[in-house]
Amino acid sequence: MQSRLEKLIEKEDFITFFDYFFMVLGAIFLASGVMFFIAYNWQVLGKFFKFFLIEAGIVGSFLLSYRLDEKSIGFKSSILVGSFLIGVLMALFGQVYQSGAESYELFLYWAVIVLPIAILSRFSWIWVFEVVLLNFVIYLFKWYFTGYYYDVRAFSLAILNGIIFVVWSILSDKVEFLNQKYATRVIATLAIFWMGFALQELIFSRYSADGWIAIFSILLAIFTFYRYRFKELDIYILSILVLCLNLIVASAILRFSGSFSGAIITGAIVMIPIGFFSIAWLKNLGEQDEK
């Protein structure tokens, strides 16, 4: 008989996970190596050689991907390296010619240029990369231009990532390349993290915050629970959802308790049973999933 660990390893397909993980990590390190090589030798290298080095890397990466099978790790790694180097090239241009562009503009133009690559490559992790770039655009834009409080950025990012997560989950039933477990989990983590952060901002903020984020978060939590409990069981996504909800309850207790000691007592009375129930429920789901 197989042990529970062997069943888990077989079910989760950790070999595929580590293939993708080290592929992404290798692409980041390779592109970063080019960037740091130029930065370290900034005074020695001429500006045209700097541009040539990065542009050669971009062209070489995409030419290599063109000659490889689109399902191979080499193809996907080449696409990732080329996409990373595009951002390095844009940063180099801004540094050499002192364009005066704001930080958010770099990520915005980067996301726009990578978008056709994501559409043509049909590679889920490039779409994840695109989502990460959009997160930076929203984060930096709100900080530098509007002068709003930090909670506005949290609300904006919660709505952005929540909508992307819902659309991604729905389309994954019909679009094969989006139906990748670990890519979906990254998108889910972003959406649930910013949902929880926005709700904590709503709970603790002294300023008038938009209550629509609470309604949006409730709808997102219901969708996530229904989708990944009944339609497609995913213990990881349910776990981070439960963790997020537990943290929100704890934050509400801390915020609305009359004193710190009252918050400790109330938190112990409320959170300990909720924590035990959450763990027992997730464990029971895991055992059902193994059968």
Question: Strand, helix or coil at 102?
Answer: coil
Model pLDDT, residue 1: 42
Q: Does 232 share its domain with 255?
A: yes
Q: Does 225 share its domain with 133?
A: no
Q: Does 154 share its domain with 132?
A: no
Contact at 8 Å (CB) between 14 and 176? no
Tell me which of 100, 118, 147 is where a domain ends.
147
Tell me which of 102, 119, 147 is where a domain ends.
147
Residue 106: which of 123, 122, 91, 116 has the closest Cα? Answer: 91
pTM of the model: 0.83
Q: What secondary structure letter does DSSP report for 68?
A: S
Q: Does 220 share its domain with 138?
A: no
Model pLDDT, residue 208: 46
Which tokens in the block code for residue 127? Answer: 């779409």
Q: Does 249 share its domain with 279?
A: yes
Q: Does 115 share its domain with 155?
A: no
Q: Does 88 share its domain with 196?
A: no
- Total domains, the chain: 2
Residue numbers in the chain where pLDDT is lower than 50 = 1-2, 5-6, 9, 144-150, 208
Question: Strand, helix or coil at 174?
Answer: coil
* Host domain of residue 184: 149-291
Model pLDDT, residue 93: 80
Tell me which of 147, 165, 183 is where a domain ends.
147
Phi, psi at residue 220, to the nearest 5°?
A: -65, -40
Q: Does 143 share its domain with 283?
A: no
Model pLDDT, residue 124: 86
- Produce one character per residue of 164-181: b if its CB has 16 or more CB atoms within 10 Å, e if not: bbbebbeebeeeebbbbb
CA angle 53, 58, 62 (to 5 degrees): 145
Name the residue type at position 11: K
Q: Does 137 share its domain with 241?
A: no
Model pLDDT, residue 260: 67
Q: Does 35 share its domain with 61?
A: yes
